[in-house]
């Protein structure tokens, strides 16, 4: 899943793809590099990010989705927590809704997914939009993530979303401590086993928890650490990787798979 942020303030690439032409060029490059899905987002969920009005978010993402759909067959997901944005994006041609709130902010997203037969990614997070990254840590993060994802799945299916249309995400970097982010990756196989019916999406790409390992490097220089987490996530059962660096991630996975296939 290649990340396409059409925002002025995303932590890694804010402001780089605000025009439709720039966004389309970046989508084209990621597709050429091997992306299976393009994840379009019009609101930054970085620490300290401000909520965007639904109309502004729609005006950012819908023209980009429309342009990609006209040029490519690659599926598009809409990264949003608002049902109105999700509906407009799906109507424009997106096929998946990626909700970092796991339906906590707007459960009508589930109605959009069910009514339009769209895929739905449910991510674990805690707190309101403004406080997702500043929640006090829970004692048992694995149990908390499992419980939270189960609540989101139950809510989605209660609204009519088909189980086979749901994927889950443990929410690396959202209200977890450094140790808890690492624990979730190390124990991902245990969480995957709890959700065998639902593909696991992992998004670690360029996130700030890597700076506590690599040093205080800017997002664009966190690719090496991102690749390491991607390989560990795949080994531990992840099926979808949400990344900025598509070509590098695919190359790393191909190499690891080739080595693991040697008897």
pLDDT at 10: 53
pLDDT at 120 over 80: yes
Residue 204 has pLDDT above 70, yes or no: yes
Give pLDDT tens digits for 61-72. Answer: 999 999 999 999
Residue 7 has pLDDT above 90, yes or no: no
Sorted by where each starts, the structural domains of the chain and their CATH numbers stand as: 2-260 (3.20.20.20)
Does the annotation count 104 as an active-site position? no
Is residue 243 predicted with pLDDT exceeding 60? yes
For residue 122, is pLDDT > 90? yes
- Residue 49 in this model has a pLDDT that exceeds 90: no
pLDDT tens for 129-185 read 777 777 888 999 999 999 999 999 999 999 999 999 999 999 999 989 999 999 999
Instruction: State yes or no: pLDDT of 262 exceeds 80.
Output: no
CB 41 within 8 A of CB 7: yes
Of the given ranges (42-56, 188-202, 222-236), which has the lowest mean pLDDT? 42-56
- pLDDT-derived band at 48 (thresholds 50, 70, 90) equals low
From the list 104, 126, 176, 207, the catalytic residue is 207
pLDDT for res 45? 79
Which of 185, 197, 194 is closest to 232 using CA atoms? 185
pLDDT of residue 8: 74
**What pLDDT, on the 0 to 100 scale, is given for residue 9?**
52
Average model confidence (pLDDT) across the chain = 93
Who's near 212: CB < 8 A, 6+ residues apart? 178
pLDDT digits (tens, 9 = 90+) for 74-102: 999 999 999 999 999 999 999 999 999 99
Task: Determine what percent of the chain is predicted with pLDDT higher than 90.
Answer: 82
What is the model's pLDDT at position 43? Answer: 92
In the set 242, 247, 254, 263, the catalytic residue is 242
* pLDDT at 187 (0 to 100): 98
| DSSP codes, the chain | -EEEE--S--TTTTTTT-SHHHHHHHHHHHHHHT-S-EEEESS--STT-----HHHHHHHHHHHHHHHHHH----EEEE-S-HHHHHHHHHHT--EEEETTTTSS-THHHHHHHHTT-EEEEE---S-GGGGGGPPPPS-HHHHHHHHHHHHHHHHHHTT--GGGEEEE--TTSS--HHHHHHHHHTHHHHHHHTTTSPEEE--TT-GGGHHHH-S--GGG-HHHHHHHHHHHHHTT--EE-BS-HHHHHHHHHHHHHHHT--
What pLDDT does residue 224 have? Answer: 95
Question: How many angstroms separate the CA atoms of 9 and 179, rounded?
Answer: 27
Q: Is the pTM of this model over 0.85?
A: yes
Q: What pLDDT, on the 0 to 100 scale, is given for residue 137? A: 84
d(CA 215, CA 27): 30
Per-residue pLDDT at 118:
98
Least confidently predicted of 8-22, 159-173, 237-251: 8-22
């Amino acid at each position: 899943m290649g990340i396409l942020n059409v925002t002025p303030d995303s932590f890694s690439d804010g402001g780089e793809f605000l025009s439709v032409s720039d966004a389309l060029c970046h989508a084209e490059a990621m597709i050429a590099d091997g992306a299976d899905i393009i994840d379009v987002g019009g609101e930054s969920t970085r620490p300290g990010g401000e909520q965007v009005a639904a109309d502004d978010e729609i005006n950012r993402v819908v023209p980009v989705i429309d342009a990609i759909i006209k040029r490519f067959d690659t599926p598009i997901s809409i990264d949003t927590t608002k049902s109105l944005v999700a509906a407009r994006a799906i109507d424009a041609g997106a096929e998946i809704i990626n909700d970092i709130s796991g339906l906590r902010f707007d459960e009508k997203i589930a109605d959009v997914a069910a009514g339009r037969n769209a895929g739905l990614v449910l991510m674990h997070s805690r707190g309101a939009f403004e406080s997702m990254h500043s929640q006090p840590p829970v004692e048992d993060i694995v149990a908390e993530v499992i419980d939270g994802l189960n609540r989101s799945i139950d809510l989605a299916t209660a609204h009519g979303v088909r189980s086979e249309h749901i994927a889950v995400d443990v929410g690396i970097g959202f209200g977890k401590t450094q140790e808890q982010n690492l624990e979730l990756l190390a124990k991902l196989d245990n969480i995957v086993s709890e959700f065998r019916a639902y593909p696991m999406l992992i998004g670690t790409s360029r996130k700030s928890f890597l700076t506590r390992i690599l040093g205080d490097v800017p997002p664009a220089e966190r690719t090496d650490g991102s690749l390491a987490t991607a390989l560990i996530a795949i080994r531990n059962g992840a099926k979808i990787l949400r990344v900025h660096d598509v070509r590098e991630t695919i190359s790393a996975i191909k190499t690891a798979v080739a080595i693991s296939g040697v008897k």
